[in-house]
Structure 1
Amino acid sequence: MFNKIVVAVDGSASSLKAVEKAVQLQGLLPHAEIYLICVYKHHSLFEASLSIGRPVDMDIPDKVLSDYAKEVVTHAKEHAFGQGATQVRAFVKSGRPSKVIVRFAREKEADLIVVGTRGTHSDKDGILLGSVSHRVTSAAKCPVLVV
Protein backbone atom coordinates (compact mmCIF):
# COMPACT_ATOMS: atom_id res chain seq x y z
CA MET A 1 0.00 0.00 0.00
CA PHE A 2 2.25 2.85 1.27
CA ASN A 3 5.89 1.84 0.94
CA LYS A 4 7.43 5.31 0.60
CA ILE A 5 6.00 8.16 2.65
CA VAL A 6 7.23 11.73 2.17
CA VAL A 7 6.65 14.06 5.11
CA ALA A 8 7.16 17.81 4.72
CA VAL A 9 8.46 19.45 7.89
CA ASP A 10 9.08 23.07 8.86
CA GLY A 11 9.46 22.94 12.61
CA SER A 12 5.83 23.74 13.33
CA ALA A 13 3.64 21.73 15.68
CA SER A 14 1.49 20.84 12.68
CA SER A 15 4.42 19.34 10.79
CA LEU A 16 5.44 17.30 13.84
CA LYS A 17 1.88 15.93 13.94
CA ALA A 18 2.39 14.94 10.29
CA VAL A 19 5.55 13.09 11.34
CA GLU A 20 3.62 11.30 14.06
CA LYS A 21 0.91 10.24 11.61
CA ALA A 22 3.53 8.89 9.20
CA VAL A 23 5.11 6.91 12.03
CA GLN A 24 1.69 5.46 12.91
CA LEU A 25 1.28 4.38 9.28
CA GLN A 26 4.75 2.87 9.31
CA GLY A 27 3.72 0.85 12.36
CA LEU A 28 0.98 -0.72 10.26
CA LEU A 29 3.28 -1.20 7.28
CA PRO A 30 6.66 -2.32 8.70
CA HIS A 31 8.51 -2.09 5.39
CA ALA A 32 7.47 1.51 4.74
CA GLU A 33 10.19 4.13 4.53
CA ILE A 34 9.70 7.69 5.73
CA TYR A 35 11.39 10.50 3.83
CA LEU A 36 11.42 13.79 5.74
CA ILE A 37 11.94 16.92 3.67
CA CYS A 38 12.44 20.50 4.77
CA VAL A 39 12.35 23.11 2.02
CA TYR A 40 13.75 26.62 2.33
CA LYS A 41 13.28 29.50 -0.08
CA HIS A 42 16.37 30.21 -2.18
CA HIS A 43 17.80 33.73 -1.95
CA SER A 44 20.05 35.02 -4.71
CA LEU A 45 23.22 36.99 -4.06
CA PHE A 46 21.35 40.00 -5.42
CA GLU A 47 18.69 39.63 -2.72
CA ALA A 48 21.41 39.27 -0.11
CA SER A 49 23.11 42.45 -1.36
CA LEU A 50 19.97 44.57 -0.88
CA SER A 51 20.61 44.98 2.83
CA ILE A 52 21.66 48.55 3.66
CA GLY A 53 23.93 47.64 6.55
CA ARG A 54 25.84 44.41 6.55
CA PRO A 55 28.40 43.10 8.99
CA VAL A 56 31.77 42.22 7.49
CA ASP A 57 31.29 38.48 8.09
CA MET A 58 27.64 38.30 7.01
CA ASP A 59 26.39 34.85 6.10
CA ILE A 60 24.63 34.49 2.77
CA PRO A 61 20.89 33.97 3.45
CA ASP A 62 20.88 30.56 1.75
CA LYS A 63 23.55 29.30 4.15
CA VAL A 64 21.64 30.53 7.19
CA LEU A 65 18.35 29.07 5.94
CA SER A 66 19.99 25.81 4.90
CA ASP A 67 21.56 25.42 8.33
CA TYR A 68 18.21 26.13 9.99
CA ALA A 69 16.44 23.65 7.68
CA LYS A 70 19.02 21.01 8.67
CA GLU A 71 18.20 21.64 12.33
CA VAL A 72 14.48 21.34 11.61
CA VAL A 73 14.79 18.06 9.72
CA THR A 74 17.21 16.63 12.30
CA HIS A 75 14.75 17.45 15.09
CA ALA A 76 11.90 15.89 13.07
CA LYS A 77 13.97 12.75 12.50
CA GLU A 78 14.73 12.45 16.21
CA HIS A 79 11.03 12.99 16.92
CA ALA A 80 10.12 10.23 14.46
CA PHE A 81 12.49 7.75 16.10
CA GLY A 82 11.17 8.82 19.50
CA GLN A 83 7.67 7.92 18.28
CA GLY A 84 8.85 4.45 17.23
CA ALA A 85 9.86 4.93 13.58
CA THR A 86 12.16 2.32 12.10
CA GLN A 87 13.28 3.68 8.71
CA VAL A 88 13.64 7.44 8.36
CA ARG A 89 15.75 9.49 5.96
CA ALA A 90 16.03 13.27 6.07
CA PHE A 91 16.56 15.75 3.22
CA VAL A 92 16.94 19.52 2.85
CA LYS A 93 16.10 21.21 -0.46
CA SER A 94 15.77 24.78 -1.64
CA GLY A 95 13.10 26.29 -3.86
CA ARG A 96 9.38 26.91 -3.81
CA PRO A 97 8.16 24.50 -1.12
CA SER A 98 5.06 23.12 -2.84
CA LYS A 99 6.86 22.45 -6.12
CA VAL A 100 9.91 20.96 -4.44
CA ILE A 101 7.82 18.67 -2.20
CA VAL A 102 5.81 17.35 -5.15
CA ARG A 103 8.92 16.90 -7.33
CA PHE A 104 10.78 15.16 -4.48
CA ALA A 105 7.85 12.77 -3.95
CA ARG A 106 7.81 11.97 -7.66
CA GLU A 107 11.59 11.37 -7.73
CA LYS A 108 11.35 9.04 -4.72
CA GLU A 109 8.31 7.31 -6.25
CA ALA A 110 6.39 8.04 -3.05
CA ASP A 111 3.04 6.42 -2.43
CA LEU A 112 1.93 9.14 -0.01
CA ILE A 113 2.78 12.70 0.98
CA VAL A 114 1.95 13.82 4.53
CA VAL A 115 1.79 17.54 5.33
CA GLY A 116 0.54 19.64 8.21
CA THR A 117 -2.50 21.82 7.72
CA ARG A 118 -0.62 24.97 8.58
CA GLY A 119 3.06 25.77 8.66
CA THR A 120 4.86 28.11 10.99
CA HIS A 121 3.90 31.76 10.99
CA SER A 122 6.97 33.65 12.17
CA ASP A 123 9.04 35.40 9.50
CA LYS A 124 12.07 33.13 9.78
CA ASP A 125 10.12 29.87 10.02
CA GLY A 126 7.42 30.73 7.48
CA ILE A 127 10.05 30.91 4.75
CA LEU A 128 10.67 27.17 5.05
CA LEU A 129 7.29 25.63 4.46
CA GLY A 130 4.48 27.95 5.34
CA SER A 131 0.94 26.96 4.45
CA VAL A 132 1.45 25.03 1.22
CA SER A 133 -0.79 22.03 1.86
CA HIS A 134 -3.39 23.25 -0.63
CA ARG A 135 -0.85 23.58 -3.45
CA VAL A 136 0.67 20.18 -2.66
CA THR A 137 -2.73 18.48 -2.75
CA SER A 138 -3.49 20.16 -6.07
CA ALA A 139 -0.22 19.21 -7.76
CA ALA A 140 0.69 15.80 -6.34
CA LYS A 141 0.21 12.65 -8.40
CA CYS A 142 -0.01 10.45 -5.31
CA PRO A 143 -2.39 10.68 -2.34
CA VAL A 144 -1.78 13.50 0.13
CA LEU A 145 -2.71 13.24 3.79
CA VAL A 146 -3.21 16.64 5.42
CA VAL A 147 -2.87 16.41 9.19
Structure 2
Amino acid sequence: MFRRILAAVDGSTHAMVALEKAVEFQRLTGAELYLLCVYKHHSLFEASLSMVRSKEPPIPDQALSEHARDVVEYAKEHATQLGASGVRGFVKGGKPSKTIVKFAKQHDVDLIVVGSRGSDSDRDGMVLGSVSQRVASMAKCPTLVV
Protein backbone atom coordinates (compact mmCIF):
# COMPACT_ATOMS: atom_id res chain seq x y z
CA MET A 1 0.00 0.00 0.00
CA PHE A 2 2.45 2.68 1.21
CA ARG A 3 6.23 2.34 1.09
CA ARG A 4 7.18 5.84 2.28
CA ILE A 5 5.10 8.17 4.43
CA LEU A 6 6.01 11.81 5.01
CA ALA A 7 4.70 13.63 8.08
CA ALA A 8 5.24 17.38 8.03
CA VAL A 9 5.84 18.64 11.56
CA ASP A 10 6.15 22.16 12.93
CA GLY A 11 5.62 21.59 16.64
CA SER A 12 1.97 22.61 16.57
CA THR A 13 -0.85 20.63 18.15
CA HIS A 14 -2.33 19.88 14.72
CA ALA A 15 1.00 18.57 13.43
CA MET A 16 1.36 16.24 16.41
CA VAL A 17 -2.12 14.80 15.83
CA ALA A 18 -1.19 14.30 12.17
CA LEU A 19 2.02 12.59 13.26
CA GLU A 20 0.00 10.15 15.35
CA LYS A 21 -2.04 9.24 12.25
CA ALA A 22 1.15 8.84 10.21
CA VAL A 23 2.48 6.43 12.84
CA GLU A 24 -0.76 4.42 12.66
CA PHE A 25 -0.32 4.10 8.88
CA GLN A 26 3.34 3.16 9.29
CA ARG A 27 2.49 0.44 11.78
CA LEU A 28 -0.23 -0.95 9.47
CA THR A 29 1.86 -0.92 6.31
CA GLY A 30 5.48 -1.25 7.47
CA ALA A 31 6.34 1.83 5.40
CA GLU A 32 9.33 4.04 6.04
CA LEU A 33 8.35 7.13 8.03
CA TYR A 34 9.97 10.46 7.22
CA LEU A 35 9.49 13.55 9.37
CA LEU A 36 10.11 16.95 7.81
CA CYS A 37 10.22 20.35 9.47
CA VAL A 38 10.49 23.32 7.12
CA TYR A 39 11.65 26.71 8.33
CA LYS A 40 11.13 29.88 6.32
CA HIS A 41 14.35 31.36 5.00
CA HIS A 42 15.03 34.93 6.14
CA SER A 43 17.47 37.15 4.34
CA LEU A 44 19.92 39.32 6.23
CA PHE A 45 17.92 42.29 4.93
CA GLU A 46 14.74 40.96 6.57
CA ALA A 47 16.66 40.41 9.79
CA SER A 48 17.98 43.98 9.67
CA LEU A 49 14.41 45.30 9.70
CA SER A 50 13.71 43.74 13.08
CA MET A 51 12.84 46.15 15.89
CA VAL A 52 14.68 43.88 18.35
CA ARG A 53 18.43 44.35 18.42
CA SER A 54 20.98 42.43 20.42
CA LYS A 55 24.71 43.01 20.81
CA GLU A 56 25.47 39.90 18.79
CA PRO A 57 22.64 39.41 16.34
CA PRO A 58 22.05 35.73 15.67
CA ILE A 59 21.81 34.60 12.09
CA PRO A 60 18.05 34.08 11.60
CA ASP A 61 18.39 30.96 9.44
CA GLN A 62 20.71 29.37 11.97
CA ALA A 63 18.30 29.98 14.86
CA LEU A 64 15.33 28.76 12.82
CA SER A 65 17.23 25.70 11.65
CA GLU A 66 18.16 24.81 15.22
CA HIS A 67 14.55 25.18 16.32
CA ALA A 68 13.42 22.99 13.40
CA ARG A 69 15.94 20.31 14.44
CA ASP A 70 14.50 20.39 17.96
CA VAL A 71 10.99 19.99 16.55
CA VAL A 72 12.06 16.99 14.47
CA GLU A 73 13.87 15.36 17.39
CA TYR A 74 10.82 15.78 19.62
CA ALA A 75 8.57 14.37 16.88
CA LYS A 76 10.91 11.38 16.39
CA GLU A 77 10.82 10.62 20.11
CA HIS A 78 7.04 10.91 20.16
CA ALA A 79 6.66 8.67 17.09
CA THR A 80 8.93 6.06 18.64
CA GLN A 81 6.91 6.12 21.87
CA LEU A 82 3.80 5.46 19.75
CA GLY A 83 5.43 2.37 18.24
CA ALA A 84 7.01 3.70 15.05
CA SER A 85 10.30 2.20 13.95
CA GLY A 86 13.08 3.40 11.67
CA VAL A 87 11.88 7.00 11.70
CA ARG A 88 14.06 9.44 9.76
CA GLY A 89 13.99 13.19 10.39
CA PHE A 90 14.83 16.02 8.01
CA VAL A 91 15.07 19.81 8.24
CA LYS A 92 14.80 22.05 5.18
CA GLY A 93 14.64 25.78 4.63
CA GLY A 94 12.18 27.32 2.19
CA LYS A 95 8.52 27.97 1.58
CA PRO A 96 6.78 25.20 3.55
CA SER A 97 4.22 24.01 0.99
CA LYS A 98 6.64 23.94 -1.95
CA THR A 99 9.41 22.39 0.13
CA ILE A 100 7.15 19.61 1.45
CA VAL A 101 5.93 18.73 -2.06
CA LYS A 102 9.45 18.88 -3.51
CA PHE A 103 10.79 16.66 -0.71
CA ALA A 104 7.98 14.15 -1.28
CA LYS A 105 8.78 13.96 -4.98
CA GLN A 106 12.55 13.63 -4.42
CA HIS A 107 12.06 10.81 -1.90
CA ASP A 108 9.32 8.98 -3.83
CA VAL A 109 6.82 9.42 -0.98
CA ASP A 110 3.49 7.58 -1.31
CA LEU A 111 1.55 9.54 1.32
CA ILE A 112 1.93 12.99 2.87
CA VAL A 113 0.32 13.57 6.25
CA VAL A 114 -0.12 17.17 7.44
CA GLY A 115 -2.02 18.96 10.17
CA SER A 116 -5.06 20.97 9.16
CA ARG A 117 -3.39 24.09 10.55
CA GLY A 118 0.22 24.90 11.12
CA SER A 119 1.90 26.71 13.92
CA ASP A 120 -0.52 27.37 16.77
CA SER A 121 0.24 31.09 16.51
CA ASP A 122 -0.42 31.23 12.74
CA ARG A 123 -3.55 33.32 12.24
CA ASP A 124 -2.88 34.01 8.54
CA GLY A 125 -3.72 30.44 7.58
CA MET A 126 -7.40 31.14 8.17
CA VAL A 127 -7.44 34.03 5.71
CA LEU A 128 -4.77 33.26 3.13
CA GLY A 129 -5.18 29.49 2.88
CA SER A 130 -3.09 27.08 4.84
CA VAL A 131 0.03 25.13 4.02
CA SER A 132 -2.02 21.93 4.16
CA GLN A 133 -4.39 23.18 1.46
CA ARG A 134 -1.49 24.13 -0.81
CA VAL A 135 0.29 20.82 -0.21
CA ALA A 136 -2.89 18.88 -1.00
CA SER A 137 -3.41 20.82 -4.22
CA MET A 138 0.23 20.55 -5.43
CA ALA A 139 1.23 17.04 -4.36
CA LYS A 140 1.31 14.21 -6.89
CA CYS A 141 0.64 11.61 -4.17
CA PRO A 142 -2.26 11.27 -1.73
CA THR A 143 -2.30 13.84 1.07
CA LEU A 144 -4.04 13.23 4.37
CA VAL A 145 -5.02 16.44 6.15
CA VAL A 146 -5.67 15.73 9.82
Q: TM-score, normalised by structure 2?
A: 0.91
* Count of aligned pairs: 141
CA distance in structure 1 between the aligned counterparts of 2:120 and 2:18, rounded to whole angstroms: 17
Identical aligned residues as a percent: 62
Shift of residue 110 of structure 1?
0.3
Give the Cα–Cα distance (whole angstroms) in 2 for the partners of residues 52 and 136 of structure 1.
33
1:121 and 1:53, CA in 2 relative to 1: closer, same or farther beyond 3 A?
Answer: closer
1:138 and 1:90 map into 2 onto residues whose CA distance is 24
Q: Residue 117 of structure 1: SS of its match in structure 2?
A: coil
Contact 2:13/2:120 (<8 A) preserved:
no
Q: Is 1:76 the equivalent of 2:75?
A: yes
In structure 1, distance between residues paired with 2:38 and 2:27:
26
Equivalences for residues 44-63 of structure 1 within 5 A: 44-52=43-51, 54-63=53-62
What is the CA distance between 1:114 and its match in structure 2? Answer: 0.3
In the other structure, the counterpart of 2:24 is 24
- In the alignment, structure 2 segments of 5+ residues that lack a partner are none
How far apart are 1:119 and its partner, in Å? 1.1
CA distance in 2, matches of 1:9, 1:109: 19
- For the Cα contact (< 8 Å) 2:35–2:89, is it kept in 1? yes
Question: Within 1, Cα distance between the matches of 2:142 and 2:16?
Answer: 19
Tell me, which stretches of 5 or more residues in structure 1 are unaligned? Answer: none
Report the secondary structure of 2:33's partner residue.
strand
Letter in 2 for 1:60: I
> What does the per-residue CA deviation read over 1:34-66, in whole Å, with 9 as the maximum and x for residues that have no partner?
110000100011111223552221101111111
Distance 2:120 2:130 in 1: 9
Q: In structure 1, what is the Cα distance between the partners aligned to 2:36 and 2:105?
A: 13
- In the alignment, the residues of structure 2 paired with residue 114 and residue 77 of structure 1 have an alpha-carbon distance, to the nearest angstrom, of 15
Amino acid at match of 1:82: Q
Report the equivalent of 1:9: 9
Name the counterpart of 1:133. Answer: 132
Q: Write the distance in 2 (CA, Å) between the matches of 1:11 and 1:41.
A: 14
Give runs of ≥4 in structure 1 deviating > 6 Å: none
2: CA distance, partners of 1:77 / 1:53: 33
C-alpha separation in 2, matches of 1:67 and 1:120: 16
